[in-house]
Chain A
Amino acid sequence: MTDAAQTFDDLAIADPTSTFGGIWRSGVLAALSWAAAALITVGLPDVVPWGSAKLFAGLTAGAAAVFLVLSFVVQRLGRAGEVLRHYGPWFVAVGVWLALWELATAKFGWLPKPFFSPPHGILNVYVTDGPRLLLCIVYTLRLWSLGFLSGIVVGYGAGVALGWSKPFAYWGMPLLKLIGPVPATAWIPVTFYFFPTTFGASIFIVALASGIPVAILTASGVGSVSRAYYDVGRILGARSWYLIRRVAIPAAMPHVFVGLFMALYYSFAVLVVAEMLGAKYGLGWYIQFQTAYSGYANVYAAIIIMAVLCAGIVRLLFVVRDRLLRWQEGFI
């Protein structure tokens, strides 16, 4: 027991996420790298002015100060401290990255305007164009959530029907297999005819992109449920409806979640295109609009927002999955 504890301590010291002499090493290094980024930003002049340099330097210097304080107190923060320590090397790396990024773009001009932007250039976009970006986020989330939710609801229903009912599978599966590989965006001409508004057409494109993977995976999930489970259900007096609800659907859940993750990525991918259909606001619209005017800093700013939104939603789906598929633990 003591031996094991000893080994564990040795490992902890060798680990860069650990503390040394009561001081969190990565925290100190992160403070240094972020301070360097701050100094570079204010100390050297921009080749071409970008704006918000002082604000950026202030923020990075603030972060450096926080890391410095954390270096001494992180051990007392319990669970949160552990998480911080785990990401210590990342904090250092991000500071270094910001410093190099500043040098390569704004300070030495190796990566020139307008194709590249220093971090404070992107910050400047948030400062000067913030309200419009917020509106774009709201529009994009509205389009995405309406499209994604309607897509997965219809896709899920269709998938259960296809997996359960032989007639449905006979007529539906060939159609689904035919339509499935066609990119959702290829249907744009048709959607213009069927949908009175461009917003409706955009929702349909996102819904189609999300619905098809959910339908295919749900159908295969329901279809591959072991017959033994149905036998047990029938022996215990279950009729079809009960077997669908209590056997087929929960048994297919792991497949359904694979479909949902695919649906998430597809829906994000078509979002930009869907917002081409005469949208007035939206991150995809913003990216196209700014690209046309060579506002690449604005494009990067929007891309970062999109990436963070996508990652957040993916994370959320993981949380839901881990709750619903708790029963799978041990044999995933």
Chain B
Amino acid sequence: MAEAAPLPLAADTDSLAGGGTAVDVRAVSHQFRLSGARLPVLDGIEFSAEPGEFVALLGPSGCGKSTLLRLIAGLERPTAGEIAVGGRPVDRPDPSRILVFQDPTLFPWASVRQNVTTGLEARGVLKQERGRVGEALALVGLAGFADAYPHQLSGGMAQRVALARALVNDPALLLLDEPLGKLDSLTRLTLQTELVGLWQRNGFTALLVTHDVEEALLLASRIVVFSDRPARINAEFRFDKPYPRHRDAPDLVAMRRRILGALGFAT
């Protein structure tokens, strides 16, 4: 894991270093309507993230963490409460805060380059910013795959493309919904390291939903623990350790025990 040092600030990728933004979630509750019945998924969520912070949202599968990310991304409006990003209320999706899903969800009909271009083209800034596409692909180590189609990529490569597709827009907030959840464990280790590198060099605020305690501790400086559905915030842990972190470092192991305790697993 020695290569977890921050990626070198190559001159040709400088334009992708934008900086982060603050996130404020105030008393947010949310319900789904399923065939008439109301299913509460979030219950009075209250938390905030500082600009450039890496926060992990940890909790059991299906507890509503992903819904919270969708709300912050602006894909849906909360039933109650308010969400603000960078001091401005969220009322619709915006390319300054980008959600990366567990499935890469690349457009299968578009090449890797066209996939990464989507955000720039949709906003009509492709002409001025075309150079970013190559930078973003280089940043995730896929410079040679611009003309490949998604079906030709492995799971890890596809998720890298999804990251490039997000980063090309220089988001101030990156919402990561278990982005490594479906990858094999070795690819996962590599991408965890790369994710830290991208975060350190670009400076965006990152909210990572995961149910993997170790992943949360390897990546985040703060860990918010959610209860089962409807999700409430159970506990918060600060873990300000330098990177690269090691999964068997004593302080990490100790913290993992505390967090597992908070999740209801006696160790």
User: Is the CB–CB distance between B108 and A237 below 8 Å?
Assistant: no
The 8 Å CB contact of A236, one of B98, B109, B150, is B98
The verdict on A235 contacting B73 (CB below 8 Å), with A229-B105, A250-B109 known, is: yes
User: Is the CB–CB distance between B109 and A327 below 8 Å?
Assistant: yes
CA distance A235 to B152 in the complex (A): 25
Tell me, yes or no, whether A331 is within 8 Å of chain B by CB: yes
Chain B residues with a Cβ closer than 8 Å to the other chain, count = 27
Interface residue stretch chosen among A128-136, A239-247, A305-313: A239-247
Looking at chain A's contact residues, the main secondary structure is: helix
User: Is the CB–CB distance between A237 and B94 below 8 Å?
Assistant: yes
Pair count A-B, CB < 8 A: 73
Tell me, yes or no, whether B51 is within 8 Å of chain A by CB: no
Residues of chain A within 8 A (CB-CB) of B192 are none
Tell me, yes or no, whether A154 is within 8 Å of chain B by CB: no
User: Is the CB–CB distance between B108 and A327 below 8 Å?
Assistant: yes
User: Is the CB–CB distance between B109 and A233 below 8 Å?
Assistant: no
Tell me, yes or no, whether A2 is within 8 Å of chain B by CB: no
The residue in chain A whose Cβ has the minimal distance to the Cβ of B111 is A327
Interface residue stretch chosen among B116-124, B129-137, B214-222, B230-238: B116-124
User: Is the CB–CB distance between A237 and B95 below 8 Å?
Assistant: yes
User: Is the CB–CB distance between A233 and B122 below 8 Å?
Assistant: yes
User: Is the CB–CB distance between A238 and B122 below 8 Å?
Assistant: yes
Tell me, yes or no, whether A231 is within 8 Å of chain B by CB: yes
The 8 Å CB contact of B95, one of A228, A231, A235, A251, is A235
Residues of chain B within 8 A (CB-CB) of A232 are 101, 105, 107, 118
Residues of chain B within 8 A (CB-CB) of A166 are none
User: Is the CB–CB distance between B98 and A235 below 8 Å?
Assistant: yes
User: Is the CB–CB distance between B118 and A228 below 8 Å?
Assistant: no
CA distance A251 to B167 in the complex (A): 24
Tell me, yes or no, whether A174 is within 8 Å of chain B by CB: no
Residues 156 to 170 of chain B near chain A (Cβ within 8 Å): 165, 169
Tell me, yes or no, whether A76 is within 8 Å of chain B by CB: no
A207-234: contact bitstring with B at CB < 8 Å (1 yes, 0 no)?
Answer: 0000000000000000000001101111
CA distance A246 to B107 in the complex (A): 9
The residue in chain B whose Cβ has the minimal distance to the Cβ of A234 is B93
CA distance A331 to B106 in the complex (A): 15
CA distance A69 to B76 in the complex (A): 73
User: Is the CB–CB distance between A237 and B75 below 8 Å?
Assistant: no
A245 shortest CB reach to chain B, Å: 10
User: Is the CB–CB distance between B109 and A253 below 8 Å?
Assistant: yes
User: Is the CB–CB distance between B122 and A239 below 8 Å?
Assistant: yes
Tell me, yes or no, whether A21 is within 8 Å of chain B by CB: no
Tell me, yes or no, whether A326 is within 8 Å of chain B by CB: yes
Tell me, yes or no, whether B99 is within 8 Å of chain A by CB: yes
Residues of chain A within 8 A (CB-CB) of B123 are 236-237
CA distance A279 to B98 in the complex (A): 61
Residues of chain A within 8 A (CB-CB) of B122 are 233, 236-239, 242, 246
Residues of chain A within 8 A (CB-CB) of B110 are 246, 250, 327
User: Is the CB–CB distance between A237 and B93 below 8 Å?
Assistant: yes
CA distance A331 to B151 in the complex (A): 8
Tell me, yes or no, whether B149 is within 8 Å of chain A by CB: yes
User: Is the CB–CB distance between B169 and A327 below 8 Å?
Assistant: no
Tell me, yes or no, whether A3 is within 8 Å of chain B by CB: no
The residue in chain A whose Cβ has the minimal distance to the Cβ of B75 is A231
Tell me, yes or no, whether B103 is within 8 Å of chain A by CB: yes
Residues of chain B within 8 A (CB-CB) of A229 are 105, 107
Residues of chain B within 8 A (CB-CB) of A246 are 107, 110, 118, 121-122
List chain B positions with a Cβ less than 8 A from chain A: 73, 75, 92-95, 98-99, 101, 103, 105, 107-111, 118-119, 121-123, 149-152, 165, 169
Q: Pull 17 A–B residue pairs with CB atoms less than 8 Å apart, ordered by A.
A: A231-B105, A233-B122, A234-B92, A235-B99, A236-B95, A236-B118, A236-B123, A237-B95, A242-B121, A250-B107, A251-B107, A253-B109, A326-B149, A327-B111, A327-B149, A327-B151, A329-B149
Task: A229-B107, A250-B109 are known; give 4 further A-B pairs, CB within 8 A.
Answer: A238-B122, A246-B121, A246-B122, A327-B149
